[in-house]
Structures are given as structure tokens and as C-alpha cells.
């Protein structure tokens, strides 16, 4: 007997498809050079210039390895500068270049347009409900990190 599951009722599977759909829409409506995570980093540094790498990662939800890769690409493209913190030799302080500021400003308009298209299938009320629900699920799941004991129920 085929005992398959209906994946369209699995939030994780839907989350993956949602993210992929967003990736494609971003590519066609916002930028082919600057990705959504890269924009998030630029945005975080516009809000708080001079943050260190790890803190930027926390702001945008990227771990230490991933944020290092994203930042190195932004630096390679000249959108970002990094200098040692004179107060703490472990840290690098990050700051946008003029080019980085310009890129960020240009993309803000396009992301707004893309968000509209992305959420267009939902009514205005549904859109705010959607944002609220997805945020609550994501926030709560992020709080579930490393509880000491593995979450796998032993059989």
C-alpha cells in the first residue's frame, strides 16, 4: 500500500517553496546582482553603521559562517568596508561605502514593489494576518535552539 503524505499540508515544505518563489521573484523584480540576504546586510548597516560581523548576522538571521561569506562578497563588490576594532582586536567593524549606500537606496523602491506583487493574491487583511502568523512561527522556532537535550523523542 502507498502510505504517502500530503506535503501541501506540511508547513516546512510550504516554507521552502515560498522561499524559492521569493528568490525567483527577487531575481526578476529587484536585482540579479544583489541577493535578498545581501540587501538585509546592507539595510542593517544603514540602520546601525559600524556593527561587527557577528551582530549583523544576528540582526538579519544568519550564522557566523554564512554572514562571513555574504560580507566577503559585498566587500569584493566594493559595497562594504571592514576594519579591525581598535578596542577589541577580535572584531571587524563594518561600514557601507558610498556605493553601498547608493545600492541600498536604489533597491528599497524595488523591494517595496516586489512585496506588493508577492502578496497580491491576498487581501489587505489577509496580508497583515500572514505577516503576523509567519513572524510568530519563525520567532518561536528560533527560540527553540539548543535546549541542551535533543528534541528527538526516543522511540
Partner DNA sequence: CGGTAATAGTCAGTGCCCTGATTAATTATG
Partner DNA sequence: CATAATTAATCAGGGCACTGACTATTACCG
Interface residues with its own copies (CB under 8 A)? 2-5, 7-22, 24-26, 28-30, 36-37, 40, 43-44, 46-47, 60-61, 105, 108, 110-111, 113-115, 117-122, 126, 129-131, 133-142, 144-145, 150-153
80-85 and 88-96 beta bridge pairing:
antiparallel
**What's the CA gap between 155 and 147, in Å, rounded?**
19
Taking the complex as a whole, the smallest distance from the CB of residue 79 to DNA amounts, in Å, to 12
Task: Provide the grid cell at 82.
Answer: 571592514
Does 27 engage in binding with DNA (CB under 7 A)?
Answer: yes
Does 54 engage in binding with DNA (CB under 7 A)?
Answer: yes
Contacts (CB under 7 A) with DNA, residues 59-118: 61-66, 68-71, 73, 88-92
**What's the CA gap between 2 and 79, in Å, rounded?**
53
- How many Å separate Cα 71 from the centre of its chain? 13
Amino acid at each position: 500500500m502507498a502510505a504517502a503524505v500530503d506535503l501541501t499540508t506540511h508547513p516546512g515544505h510550504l516554507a521552502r517553496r515560498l522561499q524559492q518563489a521569493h528568490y525567483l521573484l527577487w531575481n526578476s523584480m529587484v536585482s540579479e546582482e544583489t541577493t535578498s540576504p545581501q540587501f538585509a546586510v546592507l539595510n542593517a548597516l544603514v540602520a546601525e553603521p559600524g556593527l561587527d560581523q557577528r551582530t549583523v548576522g544576528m540582526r538579519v538571521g544568519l550564522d557566523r559562517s554564512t554572514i562571513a561569506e555574504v560580507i566577503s562578497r559585498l566587500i569584493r563588490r566594493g559595497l562594504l568596508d571592514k576594519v579591525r576594532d581598535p578596542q577589541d582586536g577580535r572584531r571587524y567593524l563594518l561600514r557601507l561605502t558610498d556605493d553601498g549606500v547608493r545600492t541600498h537606496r536604489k533597491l528599497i523602491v524595488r523591494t517595496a514593489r516586489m512585496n506588493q506583487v508577492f502578496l497580491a493574491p491576498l487581501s489587505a487583511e489577509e496580508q497583515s494576518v500572514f505577516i503576523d502568523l509567519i513572524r510568530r512561527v519563525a520567532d518561536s522556532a528560533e527560540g527553540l535552539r539548543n535546549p541542551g537535550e535533543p528534541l528527538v523523542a526516543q522511540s
